[in-house]
Amino acid sequence: MVRTLTWTRPARNWLDGLPLGNGRTGAMVLASAGELRLQLNDGTAWSGSPASEHRRGVITEAEAQSAREQARALLARGEPAAAERALQPLQNHYSQAYLPFADLRIRQRGAGSEVRRSLDLHEAVHTAHLGDVCHETFISAAEQVLVHQVRSERSVDLGLAFSSPLHVSESREDAEELCLLLTLPADVAPSHEPNEPPLRWQAAGVDPLQGAVLARMRHDGEAHRGADGGIELIGVTEVDLVLATETTFTALGRPPEGTAEHAATRARARVTAAQARGPEQMRREHVRTQRALHGGTELRLSESVELVDPDRLEGAPHQDPALVEALFDYGRYLLTASSRPGGLPATLQGLWNEQMQPPWSSAYTLNINVEMNYWAAGPLGLLETAEPLLALTEALARNGQDTARRLYGAGGWTAHHNSDAWAFTSPTGGDASWSHWPMGGAWLTCELGRLLDFGDPGHHWADRLWPLATGAARFVLDLLEEHDGHLVTFPSTSPENRYLTVEGPAALTVGSAMDRALATELFELLGRLAAQLGHQDEPLVAEAAHAAARIRPPVVTADGTIQEWHEDLTAEDRQHRHLSHLAFVYPGVDALTDTGLAAAVRATLDERGDDSTGWSLAWKLALRARLGDGARFGELLRYLFRPVIESAQHAGGLYPNLFAAHPPFQIDANLGFPAAVCEAMLQSHRGEIHLLPALPPVMATGSVRGLVARPGLNVDIDWRDGVPVTVRLTTRETRAAGPHILRFGPTRQRVEVPEAGTLTHHWEAPDDTDTERLTT
């Protein structure tokens, strides 16, 4: 268990800073000689408004039907490139961007050059020593404020000042309070749209967000207004600063309400209430809450509790057990820091962004990345972190009904590959390989269903998931069409890959492997939810079950790999970063009992190659774990654990603060990594508890506490030289009690888990490893 990350040098840039967050307010803390910078984010700070999606017009149902019919005819004639052009009227430009909010800079005079900074992953507290002065920062989830404390044994002088890349409509400063009133842009184009203005502060029909950042402080010195703005604190030994951010955001997919002044009033009320409680009490409660959140899971591969100077990425970092622990703990920490109930889901960069035009808008990419952000929530017992994902899916379902009707003449709801805080559901502009993929709703619903398998997270999750599943299933059923004796989707792509044709690369097809897998899993989820909630008699359930029987399962090609499209086509990039046609294996739950199919999955991964983007590496790790291939799992770590190669387009690695790279930085690999490590230690998708199925050499000996197995069991494992020694099973909910099968290698042993208490099982391989024996 690596509890603390420690650096003994200053932060050189943003990707050297250390992140704090409570699911709503984020701060990248950059401590350098003489200055501490808090780069602030507010999870609700987005460009645009709900009106942004359609401000350039709306295609009618008749126009869309005509475009689809033309495209279908062209595809049938073997002209996929022309078919893609025919579908372009369905595209609707781009979704909006997640934005930076403000900066608070704290200048310390006479600090010297010595800097030591650390991030406690279990307490979510950042500590920086600038010389002999201690700066401590945390962000309270309960109070929704950031607290910064300065303590010194000698009198020091500090300067504090706010700034913001947003429009500052008013700046207020007095001896106790700093405040900025802000206006956000009406439109921010993604950087891959060079013909669009990067920023528009005004746009017809769009009422953008406004906001405020406010800080109040108590100290034992004198306060003066700075010559260049801000506040000067003279002769202080103690400073307690409390800060809040606020915007006019109301809810996912809903219009903003109010003004910057209203936002400032709400921020001031939170700060005042927090100050009344006092920083010490807030810190105690914050640490208690954080420890409870993080205390459930603990991986121990070394004796270290501190990782000092994680610049240790040279040499053979993939053989460093402490670094594996650190990345595991860091991923869990980043998930809880960037996603909490009541907030918005983690974006492509989690909760942290300093750019006004961030990569891919730092938005929600639905064809892999946002789902990967939550893969670990189930096995880590952090289902509450996925509540914002459920809320986003509900907002998409509301907006996606109109999109399904207009663009496809379908019932239910749909979403495509990109979205934002306004629940954008249209196809974005650009290449068909990402744009013409209408299965975003299906994948989100399936992901929520997979998480539900680990236990009931509350918030009436199953009841809320039912209308999402029925709507997504209705859409997919209406999207299906007859083709070669099967039911296939149209339009269909395999995100974001293309195949070769005589006319050049194309993406449009019918019934891609990923579409088929998602449709099958969605229909199965609908049946399970119907049985759980008593809706078995709903006609839609029978219709979906009948359709599922007519969807072709995964196909093995003549060269022994998994077929990616409906036909056996040649990929433009045979080492493409997306592994969409393997989604049925992971994050899907196919048991791979067919050895020929399992061999084809291996061959497909071999063909794709090892090196790729950070998130693709995390996906490959999870897939290798599902295949039980610990050796290849260990080899893949060398690519994820290396320093970032900035000049590479698709080569993952780690930045100085251990953020993972596409490059550029994306959070999905950080969040996907612990999910893959969980799969290497424990699998439960086959209806049994499979122990240590894919340990890499670097994890040969260790222990783990608090993993979660389906349908809601806490599992603790101690192992030595790759073999389990002790297993402890505890029910998280009543339905998980009773008989279970423990498996290690070819050995299966039956155990009975009580409703209350813990079953401790000392693993002993039976003489005949092919037999099952009852163990009490």
Per-domain residue ranges of the chain: 4-46+98-296, 57-91+383-578, 700-775
- pLDDT confidence of residue 772: 45
CA distances to 64, 116, 241, 773 from 132, rounded to whole Å, are: 67, 10, 19, 63
What the block records as the tokens of 392 is: 């986003």
User: Contact, 121 vs 20, CB < 8 A?
Assistant: no
Q: Which residues, in sequence order, are CB contacts of 149 under 8 Å at separation 6+?
A: 135, 136, 137, 238, 239, 240, 241, 279
CATH topology of domain 4-46+98-296: Beta-galactosidase; Chain A, domain 5 (2.70.98)
Q: Cα(664)–Cα(644) distance, rounded to whole angstroms? A: 9
What the block records as the tokens of 585 is: 């294996």
Residue found by looking up tokens 């009992």 in the block: 593
Q: Cα(769)–Cα(747) distance, rounded to whole angstroms? A: 5
Through-space distance between the first and last CA atoms of the chain, rounded to whole angstroms: 31
Strand, helix or coil at 80? helix
* The domains spanning 4-46+98-296 and 57-91+383-578 adopt the same CATH topology: no
CA dihedral 378, 381, 382, 386 (to 10 degrees): 30
- pLDDT confidence of residue 497: 97
Residue 677: enclosing H or E segment and its boundaries? Answer: helix 668-681
DSSP character for 697? G
Closest CA to 328 of 640, 611, 582, 588: 640
Closest CA to 252 of 378, 98, 55: 98
Q: Cα(110)–Cα(157) distance, rounded to whole angstroms? A: 8
Q: Which residues, in sequence order, are CB contacts of 505 under 8 Å at separation 6+?
A: 498, 499, 572
Q: Cα(601)–Cα(632) distance, rounded to whole angstroms? A: 14
User: Mean of the per-residue pLDDT values for the chain?
Assistant: 94
Based on C-alpha coordinates, what's the Rg of the chain?
26
Q: Cα(416)–Cα(444) distance, rounded to whole angstroms? A: 11
What the block records as the tokens of 242 is: 């409390």
What the block records as the tokens of 260 is: 């910057």
Q: What stretches of 295-412 show up as alpha helix (H) in DSSP?
A: 321-338, 369-372, 387-408
Q: Is the pLDDT of residue 713 over 80?
A: yes
Instruction: Give buried/exposed letters for 599-626 (b at 16+ CB in 10 A, else e).
Output: ebbbbbbeebebbbbbbbbbbbbbbbbb
Q: Cα(157)–Cα(236) distance, rounded to whole angstroms? A: 6
Over pLDDT 90: what percentage of the chain?
A: 88
Q: Are strands 35-42 and 25-32 parallel, antiparallel or unpaired?
A: antiparallel
User: Contact, 654 vs 640, CB < 8 A?
Assistant: yes
Q: pTM value?
A: 0.97
Q: Are strands 4-7 and 306-308 parallel, antiparallel or unpaired?
A: parallel
Q: Are strands 145-163 and 102-108 parallel, antiparallel or unpaired?
A: antiparallel
What the block records as the tokens of 112 is: 């010297």
Q: How many residues does the chain have?
A: 776
Mean local confidence (pLDDT), 85-113 = 94
Q: Is the pLDDT of residue 776 over 70?
A: no
636 or 592: which carries more pLDDT confidence? 636
58 half-sphere exposure, CB direction, 13 A CA radius: 11
Confidence bin at 647 (pLDDT 50/70/90): confident
Residue found by looking up tokens 């946002």 in the block: 370
Question: What confidence tens digit (pLDDT) does each residue in 238-295 have?
Answer: 999 999 999 999 999 999 999 999 999 999 999 999 999 999 999 999 999 999 887 6
DSSP 120-180: ETTTTEEEEEETTEEEEEEEETTTTEEEEEEEEEEEEEEEEEEE-SSEEEEEEE-SSEEEE
- pLDDT confidence of residue 770: 41
**What are the respective helix, strand and coil percentages of the chain, to the nearest 5?**
35, 25, 40
The vertex-587 CA angle with 585 and 588, nearest 5°, equals: 55
Angle between the 668-681 and 630-640 helix axes, to the nearest 10 degrees?
A: 160
DSSP character for 644? P
Mean local confidence (pLDDT), 449-474 = 92
- pLDDT confidence of residue 594: 86
Q: Is the pLDDT of residue 459 over 80?
A: no
User: Contact, 151 vs 134, CB < 8 A?
Assistant: yes
647 or 622: which carries more pLDDT confidence? 622
User: Contact, 100 vs 17, CB < 8 A?
Assistant: no
- Strand-pair partners of 486: 483
Q: Cα(658)–Cα(588) distance, rounded to whole angstroms? A: 28
Q: Are strands 738-744 and 689-691 parallel, antiparallel or unpaired?
A: parallel
Q: Cα(101)–Cα(38) distance, rounded to whole angstroms? A: 11
Confidence bin at 768 (pLDDT 50/70/90): very low
Q: Is the pLDDT of residue 643 over 70?
A: yes
Q: Are strands 702-709 and 298-300 parallel, antiparallel or unpaired?
A: antiparallel
User: Contact, 1 vs 329, CB < 8 A?
Assistant: yes
Q: What are phi and psi of 13, to 5 degrees?
A: -160, -175
Q: Where are the beta strands (DSSP E) in 519-575?
A: none
User: Contact, 651 vs 639, CB < 8 A?
Assistant: yes
Can you give 713-754 as a three-state secondary structure string? Answer: EEEEEEEECCEEEEEEEEECCHHHCEEEEEEECCEEEEEEEC
What the block records as the tokens of 575 is: 């080492």
User: Contact, 218 vs 144, CB < 8 A?
Assistant: no
- pLDDT confidence of residue 765: 64
Q: Is the pLDDT of residue 738 over 50?
A: yes
Closest CA to 493 of 367, 615, 588, 364: 367
State the CATH class of domain 57-91+383-578.
mainly alpha
Residue 115: enclosing H or E segment and its boundaries? Answer: strand 115-120
- pLDDT confidence of residue 56: 85
Q: Greatest CA span in the chain, whole angstroms?
A: 82
DSSP 277-304: H-HHHHHHHHHHHHHHHHTT-EEESSS-
Mean local confidence (pLDDT), 156-168 = 97
Closest CA to 771 of 751, 740, 746: 746
CA distances to 61, 367, 425, 429 from 364, rounded to whole Å, are: 26, 9, 11, 15
Over pLDDT 70: what percentage of the chain?
A: 98
Confidence bin at 228 (pLDDT 50/70/90): confident
DSSP character for 47? S
Q: Is the pLDDT of residue 227 over 90?
A: no
Question: What confidence tens digit (pLDDT) does each residue in 107-160 have?
Answer: 999 878 899 999 999 999 999 999 999 999 999 999 999 999 999 999 999 999
Lowest mean pLDDT across 151-165, 483-497, 643-657: 643-657
DSSP 177-225: EEEEEEE--SEE--TT-TTS-SEES--TT----EEEEEEEEEESSEEEE
Residue found by looking up tokens 């000092």 in the block: 308
User: Contact, 544 vs 537, CB < 8 A?
Assistant: no
DSSP character for 654? B
Q: Cα(366)–Cα(435) distance, rounded to whole angstroms? A: 11
Q: Is the pLDDT of residue 59 over 90?
A: yes
